[in-house]
């Protein structure tokens, strides 16, 4: 398989704290289960720093990330809701990596997929924003993900990927 040779310049990388990912998958004609799920989290003041939802061809998938300290409460809430019981998959200990700016270039996405895929690092989710491309991988592999990306990206000289809590 040919490799990506061109290095691209980016402004920075941001890493999240440890998170838990929740996936809700449903086959049906309505996106109602996703909305209901997010309603429950909102009512309980649970923040989701990442959310994605797709509803195409009768297949609904919603994913979100929460802080680990909210996991027990979310599990209780899900268990007490007949509509959600058994429908949620939990992926423990994940982290987000944000690269910026992506400049709306598919090269950045291509490099992320190539770098993670060729080093067998998991990709649990992804979403772009105005400037950043954010993806989710195993929390224990965040550093490995940065090393793998750095092979194809030039970062500013004094940049160190920062996390919440960076002093």
Partner 1 sequence: MEIAAVYWESKIKIYGFNHAVNLSLLKMTVETEQMAKMGLCISKLDDLGIGFHLVMAQHSNNHKLHLYLLSSHPWDEKGLKNINKEIRADAESPVQVVSPVELIYFQGPHFGDRYGIAYSAFRILENKNITLLLAGCSGSVIYLVLPEGGAKNAEPFLAEAFEVP
Partner 2 sequence: MSDKQLILVVDDDPDLVESLSMKLESEDFRVAKAYDGVEAWDKIKEEKPALILLDVMMPRKNGYEVCNEVKEDPQYQDIIVVLLTAVGDAVTSTSYTHMDGKKNLADDFIPKPIDLDDLMEIVKDNLE
Is beta strand 50-56 parallel, antiparallel or unpaired with respect to 59-66? antiparallel
Cis preceding linkage at 80, omega within 30:
no
Give the range of 30-38, 71-79, 139-147, 153-161 binding partner 1 by CB under 8 A: 30-38
Give the range of 36-44, 65-73, 123-131, 142-150 binding partner 2 by CB under 8 A: 123-131
Q: Which residues does 52 contact at the CB level (< 8 Å), separation at least 6?
A: 61, 62, 63, 64, 125, 126, 127
Among 11, 12, 18, 23, binds partner 1 (CB under 8 A): 23
Give the range of 6-14, 63-71, 85-93, 137-145 binding partner 2 by CB under 8 A: 6-14
Q: Is residue 69 at the binding interface for partner 2, with CB under 8 A as the rule?
A: no
Q: Which residues does 8 contact at the CB level (< 8 Å), separation at least 6?
A: 105, 107, 108, 111, 152, 153, 154
Q: Which residues contribute to the site for partner 1 (CB under 8 A)?
A: 1-2, 4, 23, 25, 31-32, 34-35, 38-39, 41-42, 45-57, 61, 63, 89, 96, 98, 104-107, 109-118, 122-135, 164-167
């Amino acid at each position: 398989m040919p490799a990506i040779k061109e290095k691209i310049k980016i402004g920075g990388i941001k890493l999240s704290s440890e998170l838990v990912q929740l996936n809700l998958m449903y086959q049906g004609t309505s996106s109602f289960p996703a909305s209901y799920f997010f309603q429950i989290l909102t009512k309980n003041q649970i923040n989701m720093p990442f959310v994605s939802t797709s509803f195409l061809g009768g297949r609904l998938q919603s994913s979100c990330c929460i802080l680990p300290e909210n996991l027990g409460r979310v599990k209780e809430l899900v268990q007490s809701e007949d509509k959600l019981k058994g429908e949620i998959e939990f992926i423990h200990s994940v982290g987000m990596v944000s690269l910026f700016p992506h400049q709306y270039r598919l090269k950045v996405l291509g490099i992320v997929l190539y770098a993670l895929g060729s080093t067998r690092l998991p990709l649990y989710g992804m979403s772009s924003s105005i400037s950043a491309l954010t993806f989710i991988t195993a929390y224990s592999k965040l550093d490995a993900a940065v090393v793998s990306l750095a092979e194809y990206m030039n970062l500013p000289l004094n940049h160190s990927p920062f996390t919440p809590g960076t002093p």
